[in-house]
Amino acid sequence: MNVVPRVAPAPGGSEAIAARLTEAFGREDPAEAILGLSEVVKSQNVSALALKLGVMRTTVYKTFGGTVDPQLKRVLNLFGALQVRLAVEPATPPKIRPNRPKRGRPPKVQAPGIDE
């Protein structure tokens, strides 16, 4: 990946949750990210979390149980309910390229010693 995901706690959010999710999303394996989401969800009160998400409790268990690839919409809703934010940063600074030469006929260069 060319980006580094970072999960930051929103005001009033949990630092421990943000740290665990940052660790899980920081690896290049999507299964690790899903496992991290599953661990965080199971460490919460799932009934209260389901109320915040507006879904049934069983849906939360199925979506974030670790066996199903959750939809991005549900992951972002979960981040909102957990009061954390997902930030994506470039892993390497962008390469600075020199300006390309202008197209067209090159300017005339006068030969040394010739006066016009």
Q: What letter would DSSP give residue 6?
A: E
Q: Which pLDDT belongs to residue 10?
A: 67
Q: Which two tokens stand for residue 95?
A: 């390469």
Q: Residue 31 contacts by C-beta under 8 Å, 6 or more apart in sequence?
A: none
CB 37 within 8 A of CB 75: yes
pTM of the entire predicted model: 0.68
In one-letter notation, the amino acid at residue 2 is N
DSSP 90-108: ESSPPPPPPPPPPPSPPPP
Average pLDDT score, the chain: 82
Q: Which two tokens stand for residue 6?
A: 């970072």
Q: Residue 113 contacts by C-beta under 8 Å, 6 or more apart in sequence?
A: none
pLDDT 10s digits, 12-66: 668 888 888 888 888 878 888 888 888 888 888 889 989 988 999 999 888 888 7
Residue 112 predicted with pLDDT over 60:
yes
Q: Which pLDDT belongs to residue 27?
A: 82
User: What is the CB-side half-sphere exposure of residue 33 using CA atoms within 13 A?
Assistant: 17
Residue 7 predicted with pLDDT over 60:
yes
Rg from Cα positions in the chain: 26
Q: Which pLDDT belongs to residue 72?
A: 87
